[in-house]
Homo-oligomer: A and B are copies of this chain.
Amino acid sequence: MPRLNRSGSGDAVWAISADRVIGIGVDTTGSTPMPVDRDGTPLACLPKFKKNPNAMAWLWKDHTGYAEAAEITDKARQARPQFLAKCGGTYSSEWFWSKILHCKRVAPDVFAAAHSFVEYCDYIPAVLAGNTRPESIVRGICAAGHKAMYCEEWGGLPDKEFLAMLDPDLAGLRDRLYNQAVPSDRLAGRLCDVWAKKLGLKPGIAIAVGAFDAHMGGVGAGIREGTLVKILGTSTCDMMVMRADKPLADIPGVCGIVKGSILPDCYGIEAGQSAVGDIFLWFVNHLVPSSYGRSQDQKFIALAKAAAKQKPGAHGLMALDWNNGNRTILVDVRLSGLLLGQTLHTEAHEIYRALIEATAFGALTIINRIEEYGVPVKEIVNCGGLAVKNPLLMQIYADVTGRPMKISRSDQTCAVGAALFGAVAAGPDVSGFQTVGEAQDAICGVRSKVFNPDPAAHAVYAEMYTLYRQLHDAFGTAEWSGRMNQVMKQLIAIRERQR
């Protein structure tokens, strides 16, 4: 694979002929379950359900199953506490069973027509392999373990007895799901003739088992023990690994700990923030006047320029980064945003800086929680659009956390991780890689530019973080006699009634 050119942004441009492609790896968003029929055809592709949103893929950021999530959490807390321990103590509305149970309730016709449900990241490899019959689809441990409460300890998916407590039909569905899920260094199948022709690739090349974009991104960024990989986009995922031969405590409030979900022989630890880039987009699109520019891009540039001139705390503001709920460590979608400290002189770029800082404080809260439970963070590698495009954000993250921020070399780190698994799944005889680690050593790297913390800025942010934690705990936990904890949720309840 001759390297022909390296672009300024860090991505190598490879010019290779199609017949030298040895494997394909697939990453998608998730949890994104799709209802399919007996042949594996998505119901949304059938005429009957074509216009029915409930028959479409249930996208990862869909929180409509929040009541079902609470019910699953409650029932598991009573009957199967071990299920919750592996997913941070709370089952999320964004996950597999919440969505399927919600589908059963709001669209019983869709549920009844669904022979099975398949995660999007498992479905695409099956399509490429030419066999989407649900019983033939190879399921990835990433989606199964992080979103569907699959664990070898208790025999795979949740048992029928538990599922029947939620809905008898869920117990019935279990027989039409799967009994095994595997890491992404394994083969999902081989490229079928139809798709080989469409893609101009050789038929029969390896297709690796699919996984979520963030997990693939962790691998593409060179994840190893002690490395926190942050995938910074509209929302954020934080990935870490711990060798599976060492004991690892459950970490309360951390989305999931799943063996093999990132690297085959390690526990994959996933945390994240429900909205980061999305908050900035919301702010710029809805609350920034034209004095900062006309287009979204112009506004972002002007905001960053003005915000970069400010000293930490000089705006007197503090925000909570919960415009789309809190994924880690509170695992509560019914939280909302907060901005505090505005005067009659507060300007948009000051709020923009406060919003970036809020996401940095959220990031620090996750790091602290992971370290408190025995997983040291020795290095942070960032990837995703924000890491590459927003130097102000990277500097603030360094200053808030007091740690250097490295950036993965590629602009498409998740794709690099997926491709890497394509090579590994092809086997050492074809790729030359015995292990994922070997492939990482050959492929992954960070940029020369590292954002180092400024000690003076870090000192101010340390002071501000104690204030952030007061707001975080008051509005996010029940410690404060439950009163402040309820303000956001009661407002949401009123909102839903009045809309």
Contact = CB atoms under 8 A, between A and B. Distances in A.
Interface of A: 275, 278-279, 281-282, 285-290, 311-318, 323-324, 336-348, 351, 460, 463-464, 467, 470-471, 474-475, 480, 483-484, 487-488, 490-492, 494-495, 497-499
B464 A494 contact: yes
A491 B275 CA distance: 24
Contacts of A480: 480
A340 B336 contact: yes
A343 B467 CA distance: 22
Contacts of A498: 311-314, 460
B494 A460 contact: yes
Copies in the complex: 2
A260 to B, nearest CB: 33
A467 B495 contact: no
Contacts of A314: 495, 498-499
B278 A344 contact: yes
The residue in A289, A341, A475 that gathers the most chain B C-beta atoms within 10 A of its C-beta is A341
A109 B278 CA distance: 54
A350 B474 CA distance: 25
A238 to B, nearest CB: 20
A484 B460 contact: no
Contacts of A470: 483-484, 487
> Which 4 residue pairs across A and B have the least CB separation, nearest first?
A316-B495, A337-B342, A313-B494, A314-B498
A286 B347 contact: yes
16 contacts: A275-B344, A281-B344, A282-B343, A282-B345, A313-B491, A316-B336, A316-B491, A323-B346, A336-B343, A337-B342, A338-B338, A340-B491, A341-B491, A341-B495, A464-B491, A474-B474
Contact of A289 (B288, B464, B484): B288
Nearest to A456: B498
A463 B460 CA distance: 39
A458 to B, nearest CB: 13
A477 to B, nearest CB: 13
Given A340-B487, A499-B311, A492 B275 contact: no
Nearest to A275: B344
A318 B339 CA distance: 11
B339 A339 contact: yes
A288 B288 CA distance: 6
A292 to B, nearest CB: 9
Contacts of A323: 342-344, 346
A340 B341 contact: no
Contacts of A490: 463, 467
A324 B487 CA distance: 23
Given A467-B491, A487-B471, A337 B336 contact: no
Nearest to A467: B487
B316 A492 contact: yes
A480 B475 CA distance: 13
A483 B339 CA distance: 17
Contacts of A492: 316, 341
Considering residues A311, A317, A343, A347, which has the most beta carbons from chain B within 10 angstroms of its beta carbon? Answer: A343
Contacts of A282: 343-346
A305 to B, nearest CB: 17
Nearest to A292: B289
Contacts of A499: 311, 314
Contacts of A345: 282
Contacts of A474: 474, 483-484
A483 B152 CA distance: 45
Contacts of A491: 313, 316-318, 340-341, 464, 467
Nearest to A349: B286
A311 B287 CA distance: 21
Contact of A341 (B336, B343, B497): B336
A21 to B, nearest CB: 38
A340 B342 contact: no
Nearest to A282: B344
Nearest to A294: B290
Nearest to A315: B495
Given A311-B498, A313-B491, A470-B484, A341 B348 contact: no
Contacts of A488: 340-341
B287 A348 contact: yes
Contacts of A290: 289-290
Contact of A279 (B278, B317, B344, B475): B344
